[in-house]
Amino acid sequence: MKRSVSSSSANNKGRSLPLDGITVVSLEQAIAAPFCTRQLADLGARVIKVERPGVGDFARAYDTRVNGLASHFVWTNRSKESLALDLKRPRELKILKKLLAKADVLVQNLAPGATARLGLSYDDLKDKHPSLIVCDISGYGDTGPYRDKKAYDLLVQSEAGLLSVTGSETEPAKVAISIADIASAMYAYSGILAALIKRNKTGRGSRLDISMLEAMTEWMGFPLYYAYEGQQAPKPSGASHASIYPYGPFDTGGGGSVMLGIQNEREWVRLCNEVLEKPYLATDARFANNSLRSENRAQLRDIICNAFAELWVEEVIRRLDKAQIANAKVNDMGGVWNHEQLRARGRWTEVETGRGPVPALLPPGVSAVSDVRMDEVPSVGQHNESILAELGMGVIEVG
């Protein structure tokens, strides 16, 4: 896999990034909080990741796919400093509290009630640190009957109804990425940016209570309104659209598949005439409008797949492009690593790890590697010595 890459840390030296000067302390694990704080680090914030001595964030042990490091961890933890503390030890908890005096933001996604037991809740901190922004990320929020319920990504997908509209009519399927974690991470990220703007106006910090369930339910807006007041919810339809057809994957000759989407009647006619080369289908009563095409999708799918069976993927895509019908390749991970569009736009750079450099995608919206911070993925406790020295506590042995 050949990718054009460049080093980010060398290219942004001397450049001012949006969050330069902002310090974030994060009691984080797994995905939701780490993905949030990685966005802040990308924008130049100093992110100090507090981890358990020795083992660190448990996501470090999920797998060993990236030169011996975990894929989730490498993805969500670049550009951070790792401070290993055992917060059950009073002297190490004291270190954290001293560090908070220098911080702008505290992010945490520990078990429900954990920070309150440590004296690190917003109510515990707001009087001593009135400008501190505290962002709590949890499964269900800090009130209500589900407050203390454990929450993992797949569980929240289930609670939010996502599993009821994915998969097939005979078997539900989860989204194969940590979508509930990602949703809550991005609301935490945007909420922290808003809180920083507010603090610039008022001088005071604030608290964010981010719920994975609420983030995921917001993203379920379409199926919720589709089922408004007891109407039938969208039926699970695999990789096809639940209410628009043809809109989904279709097999071609040679074993490949093409994803195509018809959005209006003009495109339907062009599909019949220019792609399928079956103009009579455009006036077939079974397929006269989208509702009928969706209702008779099994018959229409057979017709389309039979027409495509004589063509390779590249020829189907060529015809679809010529007819100006939206389409996409059904890529595997190898196809994405080598995607010509990402390569042409120079979207790949590198980040360092303890096991050598690895490729990394530039954040969406960033036009050049010099406009973002993409530094090393830290090892557990890598920055203990420098951070403790900064606090005037360099002689304290931690862990």
Q: Give the Å distances, CA to CA, from 206 to 12, 27, 87, 96, 98.
A: 31, 18, 24, 19, 19
198 band by pLDDT with thresholds 50, 70 and 90? very high
With a cut of 60, say whether residue 106 has pLDDT above it: yes
In the predicted structure, residue 334 carries a pLDDT above the cut 60? yes
Q: What's the chain's length in residues?
A: 399
Sign (positive or negative) of CA dihedral 160, 162, 165, 169: negative
Alpha helices, H only, the chain: 8-11, 32-42, 71-76, 90-100, 114-117, 122-125, 153-159, 179-202, 212-219, 221-226, 265-270, 290-295, 297-308, 313-322, 333-337, 340-344, 384-390
pLDDT classification of 4: cutoffs 50, 70, 90 = very low
User: Scanning the structure block, which residue is given the tokens 């993992």?
Assistant: 152
Tokens of 63: 């797998």
- What's the alpha-carbon Rg for the chain, to the nearest Å? 25
224-239 pLDDT tens trace: 998 888 888 888 777 7
Indicate whether 329 pLDDT > 60: yes
User: What pLDDT, in 10s, does the model give residues 139-179?
Assistant: 999 999 989 888 899 899 999 999 888 887 788 888 889 99
Confidence of residue 13 (pLDDT cuts 50, 70, 90): low
Higher pLDDT, 394 or 53: 53
Domains of the chain and any CATH numbers: 8-221+347-390 (3.40.50.10540), 257-329 (3.30.1540)
Provide mean pLDDT across the span 264-274: 94
Residue 77 has pLDDT above 80, yes or no: yes
* Geometric angle at alpha carbon 219, from 218 and 225, rounded to 5°: 75
Cα–Cα distance, 24 to 48 (Å, whole number): 6
Residue 343 has pLDDT above 60, yes or no: yes
Query: Residue 68: what pLDDT?
Result: 94
Q: List pLDDT tens digits, range 378-393.
A: 999 999 999 999 998 8
Predicted pLDDT of residue 2: 40
Task: State the average pLDDT for the chain.
Answer: 90
**pLDDT for position 14:** 59
Q: What is the pLDDT of residue 173?
A: 82
